[in-house]
A and B are shown apart, each in its own frame.
Chain A
Amino acid sequence: MNKKKPRRRSNLLYYIKEGVSSIFRYGFMSFASVVIIVACLLIMGSFLLVALNVNDLIEEAESRNHVVAFIDYSLSEEDARGLEGRILATQNVEGATFVSRRQIYEEWLERHGEEYVAGIDEEVFRHRFIIDLEDIAYMRETLPHLRHIPGVALVDAPIEMAEWFVLLRNVAAGVFVSIVGVLLVISIFIISNTIKLATFDRREEIAIMRMVGATNWFIRWPFIFQGFILGLTGAALAFGIQWGIYGILADLIMRVSGGHLIQVVSFASIADMMIMLFLGTGFVVGTIGSVIAIRNYLKV
């Protein structure tokens, strides 16, 4: 028979009871902690949503940023098609689509009409490959490899545009990480102070607990429960509010742009990730805050 189970259960109930009662005993500070966590998570969540949408737009724009490899006039269509293997073997190349000069000519014809194209021979166009890269950040390094493939006459690539997108993505990530970092530190500081207040008020009780042989973890657990209950409460509230606000804003943007200019990422598609992120952050902030707060009282 395992004799430890009832003891663990009774301890767990004690930790939760003490943690919850401490939250209500310091009602105002608990309220302030939850408000701060909600505010920090809302700001963090808003930045994340903006970053996700910017990233989505960048990816969409990136997908239009192809590299075009023009093939030497002297190569027949069959020979030109034969270069696909070498192009695909080039580092950072994800895919290549062959477009014959005939197809280009027909596209021109369709787009501009016969009058405009009259007198232009199909032969003035080159066969070409439309190339997708794995990462446009390495576009500049990839181009010389493509140019050196025998039969490739010319490579055209929107390098400046690609580099601008990469810069934009990096700046957005940097700003996001910095802001989230600062907000997390602020949240930990606030929650730690709330719990410090509780530990200060109970310092005599903690000293007595130590004197009668309580382990450090027995003393710590109620405060940790207090911290993570506050953290999770803040996270759950922030998630609900974020969903509501984002829904309203997304609706507004779609209505204003008519759904053509900007496509907004739907909250439902990222709700799982957001709730995990919020609860995880609430849990970590609450737990770290309480561990910091109680540290000084466990030194004796």
Chain B
Amino acid sequence: MIVLQDVEKYYDNGTRALKGINLTLQDGEFAFLVGPSGSGKSTILKILTAEIAPSEGRVQVNGFLLDDKLRSKKKSMMRRTLGIVFQDFRLIEKKTVYENVAFAMRVTGSPEKEIRKRVPYVLDLVGLNVDTDRRPNELSGGEQQRVAIARALVNNPSTIIADEPTGNLDPARSLETMMLLEKINQLGTTVLVVTHEQDLVQRFAKRVISLDNGRIISDGMKGYVTHEQEKAAPAE
């Protein structure tokens, strides 16, 4: 479960990136986090992955309280409960498909026997039907993103956080990727997708959290909402 209570974030240059964010993501939930550039999406992601600490407020991710006192070892343990998918895939070019996925298990100290069993299973789960001895640059964008999703999934995390996972894909591959994330969610994993692609969000009847200028301007099933639409909407 992810909980943000009255979260504020000020950067050293004086920018107030988040203004009183309150947000709860229950276990097994699927949500989109949307908003224009500079709305605070990246700051929330960095806080959730413990890259930065909130200036004020309380953040809890899968049972770990994330503040500036969080020790490096606990940070690592917290990150093992997350699977992170990036827009640019972030695969290691020197490693094969198999090694890219196995690597994530190896860093958490999994035994080789378990790695040999788990990696093919996860690659199959994400529907990757390529030679696993190939290197990432020999694959298409969609295939590379599947490898990245497999890597995020391989340690069986409680939550998948996908940062613009379709940003480098064509519409057909984007849809496939989103359907894959939906399938992963149906298997019980919490999924938070950060995106600015309105069309894609509208196609899925999921919770949408809209951010603008560091605040949550809407949170519900009504789809992507811009600040202008929010202001134009009649008061409830």
Contact = CB atoms under 8 A, between A and B. Distances in A.
A11 interface: yes
B55 interface: no
Nearest to A3: B111
Given A10-B109, A212-B151, 4 more contacts: A211-B49, A212-B84, A213-B82, A300-B51
Interface of A: 6-7, 10-11, 14, 204-205, 207-216, 218, 298, 300
B107 A212 contact: yes
Interface string B70-102: 001100111110101000001010000000000
A90 B211 CA distance: 88
A206 to B, nearest CB: 10
B155 A213 contact: yes
Nearest to A219: B107
Contacts of A6: 111
B92 A205 contact: yes
B111 A213 contact: no
Contact of A210 (B79, B103, B112, B155): B79
A214 B111 contact: no
Contacts of B104: 212
Contacts of B107: 209, 212-214, 218
B80 A212 contact: yes
Q: Which of B51, B73, B107 has the most CB of A within 10 A?
A: B107
Given A7-B111, A14-B106, A218-B107, A213 B77 contact: yes
Given A6-B111, A214-B108, A208 B76 contact: no
A212 B78 CA distance: 10
11 contacts: A14-B106, A204-B92, A210-B79, A212-B79, A214-B76, A214-B107, A216-B72, A216-B76, A218-B107, A218-B109, A300-B51
